[in-house]
Structure 1
Amino acid sequence: MQFAFLVDPPAPSCEEGLYLPKFISPTPLNGERMYAEINKELEIKVKAKVRYGRLRDIMISGPLNTSTHRNTNDEFVIRWTPQPDDLGDYHPICFAVESQADIYQSKMRCVLVNVKSKDVNLDVICNETSMTVHVDRASLHGITEDHLRLNDPSNTACSLQTHSNSSHITAVIPLNACGTQIEEDGDNLLFRNELSLVDKSTDLITRKHQLEIQFCCQYPKRGNVTLGFTAHRKNVTVLEKGYGTFTYEFEFYPDNQYQKRIDPSAYPLEFYLKSRIYMQIEATSTLNNTELFIDSCRASPYDNANYQSTYPIIENGCTVDPTVEIYHPQHNKQFRFSMEAFKFIGQHDQVFITCSVMMCEAKNPHTRAAQGCINSTSVHYVHHHHRKREAVIQSGNHYISQGPLRLRRSAEELGARVTNLNLNLNMVFIAGCLLAAVGMICGVVLYKSKMLKSKYQTLIES
């Protein structure tokens, strides 16, 4: 028997983070104990950094059926689903990260996973626009919906009281609301949220050891996108206590005459770079003495009001994008504006416009609408604003979105790209994908881990 050894040259420096990968958050600590439930997928996120070179791969040692992939946040994700035979066992999962040069590796780090039975009986149903979560009250040992909240409970659609009954706490969470976060890897889109235990529904932070019920829906990014695909967003109707019922309509128009909206069947809409996009937001209210105010509008490659990496168009009532033009409306519940078309850098060929809007008492000098454009340093106004809301002179903020908008290719570009068309599907096709494939569901009781966000810039044609 013969052995051959290949001796690599020494690293220029053994300091972690230079040539040798260094682990950073949200990577668990070495020796950390974790808990997993039978038939529930455990997910461990590993992230590292290196100054010289690039991260290449992750090496793992763990139970059978352990898998890894790399997501768009440049994290390595280790996944494992315990089986009934694993109940009560302790399983070590060890990992190390390699740099691109193949000869530099991080230190080996291990966690110990204890497999236990279900703490919380959870059922998650995924459909094309929302996640429905049913939690068995008996498994919560006296915890009620009054002590649970989603990531962002400010939207009335996120109320746990609406759908809950005597046996189950139920939440119907839109994919673009309630603080739902998006992750993606090469093959799937994941929508995540969680139910957190709080002393009071108004609590913003906690320093207690709290229970959190995390859940997600996973959808394939590729599939038949022609079946039942509905792109045009419906109107948003809001009933707010003390302020009546109002409906928001967000539409696109072919020109600045605003005579007839673009037919919803024409969506997704296509524009050439720098061509002008005409938009109108209109409110219908049960109260006559009201006016519409647009606090902000942002563009995103995804239809998600909570998506962090977005491009500002209007911010704090001020136009931010230099191409924005505002037009005179027919009445004070209408807002008309336009801007030049753009695209996000990378394989994000589609754009959604999301605006934060509110209704205010007309001609009242203390409302947000009366303040108009304010800069972000106007701290005193924030306190003034909350005091006035209690007097019911304006509604809360509500998000409305419309799209998608797609970049129209020239004939030359289309000829060059036709062979790669199937590789450039974007998130906006998720509704069609859902009709071609079944969403996979994952849910587990864990402690909260922070997500890292991708950053985007706008690409302007030269």
Structure 2
Amino acid sequence: HEAPLCSLPCRLESGCNYDYIEVFDGPYHSSPLIARVCNGVSGSFTSSSNFMSVRFISDGSVTRKGFQAEYYSSPSNDSTKLLCLQNHMQALVSRSYLRSLGYVAQDLVIPGWSRSYQCQPQITSSQVIFTIPYVGCGTIKQADNDTIIYSNILKATVSNGIIKRKKDLNIRTSCRMLQNAWVDTMYIANDTIEVKEIQYGNFNVNISFYTSSSFSYPVTSSPYYVDLNQDLYLQAEIRHSDSSLALFVDTCVASPYPNDFTSLTYDLIRSGCVKDQTYRSYPQPSPRIARFKFSSFHFLNRFPSVYLKCKMVVCRAYDYNSRCYRGCVVRSKRNAGSYQEKVDVVLGPVQLRVPEQWSLGRSSPSDLTENQGPAP
């Protein structure tokens, strides 16, 4: 961490009009651009988190060898660490780091919440560990475009007096949700050494089949056999402690292959626009839950299985300017500067009931896998 982003000669952002490499400081192409490299120029780059992505751009004119890259990872500073978990964020601060600044473990508190049992830290022989809820202990929730941010602060200050010689210590914690990823940041402010920790993680969305339109009983058998043209009911739900989030089904695509959604596909819904005549959405019991159905089918040439890949969008609940409330959107060519990823979930296989000869599918929640969005 904190190493120079370009330690060898490299070309940044300009002069690359044909074939070039883009290096991003994070898991997606919407992450900050570190460098754009071309014309045989080499470079060395360092990410500020546990992710770096690389994109190769080419045209159809000249064909050569391509590019080669080597990478390695190294541990970051362990004085502070932040984890953004499903129900809370966890801040860990080294006791030796506090001692180096002239503080003891008991000096570090969440301002205004030091007497609340829920907001007090666990003190071990080596660390001070704060379990900070997303709703409570003074955590502030903010929104920036499609980003939802949960932030709090840990403080250690000198006792009241006429003079002081120790710096106040502020450790600011922030968990930032970008539709399909968490960005964890932690840094020290107020004239002290600045420390920054960034981690990316998965956003947890669960999707499963249900036995009827009442959505009372999830399908638990595996395989789950159905008849041709049978109604299939699905429910997707955000798994997170913040209840003021909304979920929207942007796209669902069917394929006979679990890992190929480009060769042979069929759209149920795309960009919020319904493409299949049997697709129907249901009223949401809460903004965090999305429900829909469609009638089973099989692909020609008798492929035995059907897989679904659904793209979900997470927004602030009741934010009517967000994507979750705009419905069908006919998309034009994306602006690379505003590109944002979403939650991709693959569900299946679904197979036709064997005795019927015209069957479609099986599935259970155990067949669910979650992807990280577009590959770098």
**Same fold judged by TM-score > 0.5?**
no
Superposition TM-score tier, normalisation by shorter sequence: 0.3 to 0.5
The structure with the greater share of residues assigned to helix is 1
Question: What TM-score do you get using the length of structure 1 for normalisation?
Answer: 0.36
If asked which structure has higher relative contact order (CA below 8 Å, sep 6+), I would say 1
